[in-house]
Homo-oligomer: A and B are copies of this chain.
Amino acid sequence: MKKALSIDIGGTKICYAIIDENGDYCCEPEKVATPKVAQEIFSLLSSLAQKYDSQIDAIGLATAGAVNSDNTRVVSSTPNLPSGYNSLDFSKISSKKVFVENDANAAAWAEYKLGAAKGCDYNITVTLGTGIGTGIINEGKLLRGKSGAGGESGSMKIFADKRQKCTCGRFDCWESYASGTGLRNCIYNMAISEPEFSDSIFKDKLPSELTTYDVIAGVRKDDSFCKKVFAQWVEYLFVGIVNLVNIFDPQCVVISGGMGEFIDVNELENRVNSEIVVQPVKIRLAEMKNNAGMIGAALLALQ
């Protein structure tokens, strides 16, 4: 069976493992800290490629940023990675085939091939983290756009009146409302505006001190203020999903990331289906646990 060395390059750590064409791990995944200099990332990847060369048929790389149409390098800015990162030609780390893919796209590919979107040639995986990443599968292929940056749905504006600044500096990006950062923005804004805050278990905190984890803890403790905050956050998530479903008419939407488990997915599916103008869609939680990006990159490299 064919095997790939698959490497997920994050801002703080680089994870890697040998993965076979069924998506199974052939060894425990390992982690190293991400070097602070672009050329050192290249050297690290080259040494990993050399180390595992005899065991593998290809190398898959999952990375932040837009990837070129040859799937060899990153073509956009990547604020969490060292400067010069997007000048690295990853095809040069090995004489074997190297396949680079955006991490949200790679995770979507893993859900499509092995997870919650299996069998759905039209699907969208929405990854909720610090931001929102989406991977879009159309006719069984990743939507990549002219420069590999397709699917930047986290930057979709869900207000048109410059209401809330996003960490990217623009206004009203979906991810400033419906990601982890968005949940923090929700509790901050509602702590200031909602009278229920004075009855919350967090009433003694300053609004600026409230965190995403506080909302989740409050929901678990049945705190009505936190439940209201969470419901507002789900509303923002709902609006973005309705937009994507109307635009793509997918068979299913997969919600990935740790925050998914707190969402009533059945209720969300019913609400989305009562709002869209296209045929009904399924909404499912991701099935690939950790490292979906790494598995997706391996599968893509071995195709």
Chain A interface (Cβ < 8 Å from any Cβ of B): 66, 75-76, 121-122, 136, 138-139, 141, 143-153, 155-161, 168, 170, 177, 235-236, 239, 242-244, 246-251, 275-279
Chain B residues within 8 Å of A247, by CB: 136, 150-153, 156, 244, 247
- In the assembled complex, the Cα of A248 lies from the Cα of B159 at a distance in Å of 19
- In the assembled complex, the Cα of A159 lies from the Cα of B278 at a distance in Å of 20
Q: Are A246 and B160 in contact (CB under 8 A)?
A: no
Nearest CB of chain B from residue A278's CB, rounded to whole Å: 4
Q: Are B251 and A149 in contact (CB under 8 A)?
A: no
Chain B residues within 8 Å of A249, by CB: 66, 144-152
Q: Are B157 and A248 in contact (CB under 8 A)?
A: no
Chain B residues within 8 Å of A236, by CB: 160
* Most chain B C-beta atoms within 10 Å of own C-beta, residue among A141, A242, A244: A242
Chain B residues within 8 Å of A136, by CB: 247
Q: Are A277 and B160 in contact (CB under 8 A)?
A: no
Q: Are B160 and A159 in contact (CB under 8 A)?
A: yes
- In the assembled complex, the Cα of A255 lies from the Cα of B76 at a distance in Å of 27
Q: Are B248 and A279 in contact (CB under 8 A)?
A: no
Chain B residues within 8 Å of A242, by CB: 157
The 9 closest A-B pairs by CB, nearest first: A145-B249, A149-B278, A147-B279, A150-B249, A160-B239, A152-B246, A155-B246, A122-B146, A158-B160
For this complex, 8 residue pairs linking A to B, each with C-beta atoms less than 8 Å apart, are: A150-B248, A152-B246, A152-B247, A153-B246, A155-B276, A156-B247, A157-B242, A159-B159
Output the nearest chain B residue to A279 by Cβ-Cβ distance: B147
Nearest CB of chain B from residue A279's CB, rounded to whole Å: 4
**Other 7 A-B pairs with CB < 8 A, given A152-B278, A156-B243, A244-B247:** A143-B248, A146-B279, A150-B247, A153-B247, A155-B243, A157-B239, A158-B159
